[in-house]
A = this chain, B = another copy of it.
Amino acid sequence: MTSSLESLAVDGALRHRTATEFVEATLKAAILDGRLAGGLPLRQEEVAAVFGVSRMPVREAMRRLEAQALLDFVPHKGAVVTEISAEDAADNYAIRRALEPAALTLSIPKLTADDFARAGDLIAEMDSEADEGRVGELNRRFHMALYARAGRAKLLALAEQQLAVADRYLRFHLAAKGREHLSQDEHRALLAAAERRDTDAAVAVLLEHVDTAAATIAAFFRERDSGR
């Protein structure tokens, strides 16, 4: 195969309204779940060929992905999938540590029984999900389910975007520590505190949750970088 781009081979089923949306969504998903690794250069012509479109929708999609910090654009040089690194992970966790407690605090008083049920279902799904790539999405949806009633659309959009970036690191979590270390206990504790409307406890669990993940990833990178 010429490159990992081939893995994006398209099932025309999930077409979007415009080619640009289609390319953007597919590239984004592939970057987040690790099929397109950090550092990979994306040739416009090549991507266009894989998707069966011209270079133009590819260029527009890339511009949007660049604004989301998933691609690095260098004028006249091209686009490269943003590298993951210890620094980037630390950034991501620092941002989530700030945003998610705010969203959770606003949301908890307004959560409904349905919301709790949905969140519980997602925990169960994560336990039984075999496909590693889908675990990240389930994790994201669980978190967002608890923030959903915050009533601040842009705050939530930002939080979701950062959770998506975190997905890129979740894979290393799973690889390094195995499935059982998916912090399902913390998820359950978070849900329980939310159901009790105990905002302080829920925020404490969430901070612990994020900090633990940050420490795990930091250790992973320390080990990897020492071994070369």
Contacts and interface: CB of A to CB of B under 8 A. Distances in A.
A153 B91 contact: yes
A59 interface: yes
Interface in A75-93: 75, 87-88, 90-92
* Size class of the contact patch on chain A: 20 to 34
Contact of A90 (B90, B98, B152): B152
Nearest to A56: B56
Interface string A80-112: 000000011011101101110110001000000
A63 B63 CA distance: 6
Contact of A98 (B18, B67, B68, B98): B98
A17 interface: yes
Given A18-B75, A75-B17, A75-B18, A94 B60 contact: no
